[in-house]
Amino acid sequence: MLKIVLDAPPDREGLQGFGIAIGLLAAAALVLVAWALGVAPALALGAGLIVWMLAAGLAWRRPEKLEGAYAGWNRLARAFGRRAAAVVLGVSFYLVVLAAAGAGRTRGLPDMGPAGPAWKPRGTLGADEYGGLGGGRRSAGSGSARELARWARGTGRAWILLLIPFLLLLDAFDVSGREEAPSSIYTLY
Amino acid sequence: MSLRPSTDGTSRFESVARLVLATAGASVALAATLPLLLVALPFWVVRVLTSAGGKLSRRLQPRETPWEELVRFEPEVGWIPLPGLDTHARAGHLFHLSTDEEGWRGPTSLHDADIVVVGDSFAFGYGASDRDLFTEQVPGLSAKGVGANGYSMVQGLLWMERLGERLRDRTVVWIVYYGNDLYENLVPNQGRYRMPFVRESATGRNDWQVVTEHVGPEPWPFHRDRWYDQILAEICSRTFVSDRAFRACEYLIGRGRDLCREAGARLALVGNPDVDMVRPGGIAHLRERSSAPGTFDVGRPDRELASMCERLEVPFYALSSVLTVRDHLPWDCHWSPQGHRKVARVLARIHRDLAPSPGETPATGTSEPAVARVGG
């Protein structure tokens, strides 16, 4: 799912895109405020256009001037992302997982866990099963939502599929990416 | 409802009951997260628009040529920039570059140059468009860069050897970039490219030799990303690596001095710091990466090179005394246009020190930076 933090560190084009984006948001906000204050629509749109063009012009000519704003926006996004992820995690655990487990138990349903350990011993694969040193072959759809759905239906745990929207949100709010440039960003010195 | 047990013993009834309870819980949970989604909306909008704007900006720029397409294999040396290039490359930003019929940057020919600058990507002028190139801005003098991205000092030495007589009566300025040159004098590859290196002979300590037998067009089979911050941190500390790197460096400078003497050229060495060595916070950043932080000293490369140059009677100039963070590109380690202008003035100063014309005084308006000079 689309993340809320911007790529860091930004390159020149990333900063230019950010300038265009922030300019557009600022222009939209200006137009809305002007409209709410009863300013003539043409005047409001004109002012918005000027604001956007100024921001886009600065971004185009001197994108490095936007580095601070870009970093500030990302700090804001990270701060929000961390809190939002905690909320999503808490809400999904207490309202979905515990609803399925705790509430189920109060109605006399058995524990959700399997009777024995989930570990199932397997023999080794044949040599032709290995695609190379990087790992063995994977079947089509391996690790996909379809595979999860197949497993959930087969084991009677279809409720787990209800966690998917929350997992997607957690992915969107994930802020664990690198915050500094790797030292290998240069092709060759 | 069937009570047929599933594969692990849970009944259909239990499964459905849980599904119903979890659905109710999930509905409430989703409703609870709605305010979060509203707050997150501007972040998503900015991300989408930033990505779209960045793509638009890239589309409006000329085609970028990756470094791999700018070079070709060169026996013994490893690689050389292609001759007759007229293209754009990227160093955080796009810049225009052209090469002469030999593959070197800039329109000045080696024949017409007063100063020949030997080195790596800095000597090549990577990151600067042709109009900003330092070799084109040396006041009253003409200069030529003989360098390519990824070159170590060993490749610089091999080029001095090859150019030989063509260096006669010229000032040869050898730029040593601390970021990787000192370390990569000792290794046989730069990524998948094979490169010449130096190793100590079996005969004993401080008896070095240049190794080129492995250099060929075939990709080097064993390579991994190098973490240059850590390498530089090691070079700035008292470690086995730095001790070896400095001894190899002294051997190479000595060989370069002898070659220049034989060719009738004047050699000067220029120490070029990495941007982290002049950036606020950069020194602490490097110290953290050292395996011996107690011995870390950001001035060590300058001091070691100055002292070996003094022993070898080669003038040494430290760019760390003139370059600041603003003299480097914002998204790349190479010099900014302002840095190129400063280095051009340093070259003029070096040429004046090494080959002063009778009664020569610095030209008006070309204030030369107070670059630290040692030895020679």
Looking at beta carbons, which residues of chain A come within 8 Å of B44?
2, 4, 172
Outline where A110-160 has alpha helix (H).
Answer: 145-154
- The structure tokens listed for B306 are 């100055």
pLDDT, tens only, B96-114: 999 999 999 988 999 999 9
**Is the predicted pLDDT of residue A186 greater than 50, yes or no?**
no
In angstroms, the CA B353 to CA B329 distance is 29
The answer to which of A106-115, B97-106, B325-334, B341-350 has the lowest mean pLDDT is A106-115
Provide the shortest C-alpha distance from residue B160 to chain A (in Å).
Answer: 20
Q: To which H or E segment does residue B80 belong?
A: strand B78-81
pLDDT, tens only, A133-166: 444 445 555 567 788 888 887 777 788 888 989 9
Q: To which H or E segment does residue B284 belong?
A: helix B282-288
β-strands B372-374, B189-190 pairing:
unpaired
Residue with tokens 């030369």: B368
CB contact under 8 A, B50 and A14: yes
The rounded radius of gyration (Å) of the Cα atoms in chain A is 25
Of B26, B37, B67, the CB nearest to A162: B26
- Give the pLDDT band (50/70/90) at residue A185: very low
In angstroms, the CA A158 to CA A154 distance is 9
The answer to which of A7-11, A89-93, A148-152, B369-373 has the lowest mean pLDDT is B369-373
Cα A104 to chain centroid, rounded:
32
In angstroms, the CA B331 to CA A66 distance is 13
In angstroms, the CA B199 to CA B211 distance is 7
Looking at beta carbons, which residues of chain B come within 8 Å of A71?
none
Is the pTM for the entire model greater than 0.80?
no
CB contact under 8 A, B40 and A14: no
Residue A154: what pLDDT? 79
- Please report, as a single letter, which amino acid is at residue B333: C
Outline where A93-129 has alpha helix (H).
Answer: 98-106
- The residues, ordered by sequence, that sit 6+ positions from B155 with a Cβ below 8 Å of its Cβ are B77, B78, B148, B195, B196
CA distances (Å), B312 to each of A143, B116, B249, B252, B307, in order? 64, 20, 12, 11, 9
ipTM of the complex: 0.77
**Interface contacts A/B by beta carbons within 8 Å:** 198
- Angle of helix A67-92 relative to helix A164-172, nearest 10 degrees, comes to 160
**Is the predicted pLDDT of residue B1 greater than 50, yes or no?**
no
Percent of chain A surpassing pLDDT 70: 74
Provide the shortest C-alpha distance from residue A41 to chain B (in Å).
Answer: 24
Of A6, A59, A107, the CB nearest to B47: A6
- The structure tokens listed for A73 are 């926006």
pLDDT, tens only, A99-129: 877 655 555 555 555 555 667 777 777 776 6
Looking at beta carbons, which residues of chain A come within 8 Å of B272?
none
Report the pLDDT averaged over residues B154-172: 96
Looking at beta carbons, which residues of chain B come within 8 Å of A93?
none
Residue B236: what pLDDT? 97
Looking at beta carbons, which residues of chain A come within 8 Å of B40?
4, 80, 84, 172-173
Chain A interface includes B6 (CB < 8 A) = yes
pLDDT, tens only, B169-212: 999 999 999 999 999 999 999 989 999 999 998 776 668 999 99
Residue B359: what pLDDT? 57
- Give the pLDDT band (50/70/90) at residue B93: confident
Nearest chain B residue to A84 by CA distance is B36
pLDDT, tens only, A53-76: 998 888 888 887 888 899 999 999
- DSSP-based three-state secondary structure for B89: strand
